[in-house]
Chain A
Amino acid sequence: MSTVSPAPAGGPPPAEQHDPTASAVSLEARDGRQTGLKAIFGGGEAASLRVLIVLALIWIVFTIANDRFLTAGNLTNLTLQVAATGTISVGVVLVLLLGEIDLSVGAVSGVAGSVVGVLSVQHDWNGWLAIVAALLVGASIGLLQGSIVTWLGIPSFVITLAGLLTWQGVQLKVLGEQGTINISDPVITNLANTFLAESLSWIVAIVAIALLVGGTVLGRRRRAAADLELEPMIRLVVRLASIAIAILVAVYVVNQDRGVPVSLCILIGLVIIIDAVVTRTRYGRHVLAAGGNEEATRRAGIPTKRVKTIVFVLASTLAAAGGVLAASRLLAVNQSSGTGDVLLLAIAGPVIAGVSLFGGRGSVWAALLGALVIGSISNGMDLLAFESSVKFIVTGAVLAGAVILDALARKRRLSQGRS
Chain B
Amino acid sequence: MLEEAIFSGFGGQGVLSMGMILSYAGMIENREVCWMPSYGPEMRGGTANCITIISDGPISSPIISTFDTVVALNQPSVDKFESQVRPGGTIIFDSTNILNPPTRRDITIYSVPGSELATAKLKNIKVLNMLILGAFIAARKTVKEETCISALKKVLPERYHKLVPINKEAFELGMSCIK
The answer to whether A binds B is no
List the interface of chain A (C-beta within 8 A of B): none
Q: Which residue numbers of B lie inside 8 Å of A, CB to CB?
A: none
